[in-house]
Amino acid sequence: MNLEQLQSFVTVARLGNFTRAAEQLHLAQPSLSRQISALEQELGTALFHRARGGSTLTAAGESLLPLARRMLADADSVRRELAEIAGLERGRVRLGATPTLCISLVAEALSVFHAAHPGIDLHLSEQGSRRLLEELAAGELDLALITTSGGASVDRFVVVPLLVEELVVVSSSTSPPLTSSESMRLEQVARLPQIVFSSTYDLRRTTDAAFRAAGLTPETVIEGAEMDAVLRFVERGIGVAIVPAMVLIDRPGLRSVRLAEPTLTRTISIARTADMVPSIAVEIMQQTVARTATALAVRAGATMRLADS
Domains of the chain plus CATH, in order, are 3-86 (1.10.10.10), 92-306 (3.40.190.290)
CA Rg value for the chain: 31
**CA pair distance 106, 20, nearest whole angstrom:** 59
Query: How confident is the model at residue 179, as a pLDDT?
Result: 93
Note whether 288 and 94 are within 8 A (CB).
no
For residue 233, give the nearest of 221, 244, 249, 245 by alpha carbon.
221
Residue 55 backbone dihedrals phi, psi, to 5 degrees: -125, 135
**CA pair distance 24, 201, nearest whole angstrom:** 66
CA–CA distances in Å: residue 137 to residues 133, 178, 182, 202? 6, 43, 42, 19
Give every CB contact of residue 236 below 8 A, 6+ residues apart in sequence.
Answer: 172
Q: Which residues of 203-214 are buried (b: 16+ CB within 10 A; e: fewer)?
A: bbbbbeebbeee
Angle formed by the axes of helices 3-15 and 29-43, nearest 10° = 110
Burial class (CB in 10 A: 0-12, 13-18, 19+), 42: exposed
Give every CB contact of residue 9 below 8 A, 6+ residues apart in sequence.
Answer: 36, 39, 47, 61, 64, 65, 68
Give every CB contact of residue 199 below 8 A, 6+ residues apart in sequence.
Answer: 205, 224
Q: 10-residue block means of pLDDT along the chain (309 residues)? A: 91 93 92 94 93 91 93 82 72 91 92 92 92 91 84 71 94 94 93 92 89 94 91 96 89 93 90 86 93 88 80
Query: How confident is the model at residue 83, as a pLDDT?
Result: 67
Query: How confident is the model at residue 297, as a pLDDT?
Result: 86
Query: How confident is the model at residue 152, as a pLDDT?
Result: 47
Q: Which residues of 144-166 are buried (b: 16+ CB within 10 A; e: fewer)?
A: bbbbbbeebebeebebeebbbbb
**CA pair distance 225, 220, nearest whole angstrom:** 12
